[in-house]
Amino acid sequence: MFALLDRIPEGSHIAVIRLRSLGDCVLTTPALVLLKQHRPDLQIGLVVEDRFTGVFEGLDEVARTLQPDAYAIARWEPQLLLNLHGGSRSMWLTAMSGAREKVGFAHHAYNFVYNAKIPRAQEILGQERPVHTAEHLASAMFWLGVPISEIPRAKLFTPPRAKAPDRAYSVIHPYASAPEKAWGATRFKAIAHYLREQAGLKPIVLAGPGDSTDEFQDFEVLQNAPLTEVKSVIAGAQLFVGNDSGPAHIAAAFGIPVTVLFGASNPVTWAPWRTEAQVLTSPTGMADIEVNQVLAAVETLRVRA
């Protein structure tokens, strides 16, 4: 296999473009771990939007997060730029980076800006099957020259909490980026009652700035919290229940047992990576997933206070 990394001088700066979103950023970390394990001398600059820099906060693998700005990237003086995003903005940043080696997946539009194009993950892994997003991103590292090996769990850092929780708790995330990915607040409310009354787990509901929390007035709600705090709260939970979303991937990164409901997204590609999980789908849409099915999935995980 072509080993582009062999041409990168020791101690070089490289830049990795991963502009967004939360789940994609979390699932990029296994690839960064593999790269840094193979070439600990490299200094990785992670190009990411401000709202997602907290994903990479505290990681030894990332020397610096960089603004999605051509000047900021050029000042980093990368020998190699790896574009894991693939959108038009990331292509422009790649072209203007000044990197000697400009690398990205061959299926990206405008891939003429690359001087090295990464083939399909299936070709790299030698397995003709649907691949998980973590596998897809890690395959880029294998193609660059990292020896093919087991792809680790996503890696996140959170400092110890200043005050330990007073009781065991679960985290519920009933919201999603699109209506077709949301199961419904009323149903999640029923799950929250069950966890509190039957499993002895205090429910903590995660909500974004624009989410209505009217259904959850009987429970603790963490709304519009900084990503650092969200990571900390999820890391201390005994269980996560929610829609397919970025917080579900955070829970998986910390090894928390998860129950996740899928709508339009493909669970083969986006299921929780390397944690104990129950994934629920319905061929007719997630609205047809019953409350009793979710409760049965939660019971399968055998989590109690």
Q: Which of 118, 44, 112, 39 is nearest to 78 (CA)?
A: 44
Q: pTM for this one?
A: 0.96
56's torsion region: left (phi>0), alpha (psi -120 to 50) or beta? alpha
Tell me the pLDDT tens digit for each residue of 189-248: 999 999 999 999 999 999 999 999 999 999 999 999 999 999 999 999 999 999 999 999
Mean pLDDT, residues 164-191 taken together? 92
Exposure string (b/e) for 25-50, b if CB count within 10 Å is 16 or more?
bbbbbbbbbbbbebbeebbbbbbbee
Token pair 């519009």: residue: 224
pLDDT, tens only, 31-70: 999 999 999 999 999 999 999 999 999 999 999 999 999 9
Instruction: Give the 3-state secondary structure of residue 80.
Output: strand
Cβ atoms < 10 Å from Cβ of 102: 22
Quickly list H helices, 112-245. Answer: 121-125, 133-144, 185-197, 227-235
The string of pLDDT tens digits covering residues 187-205 is: 999 999 999 999 999 999 9
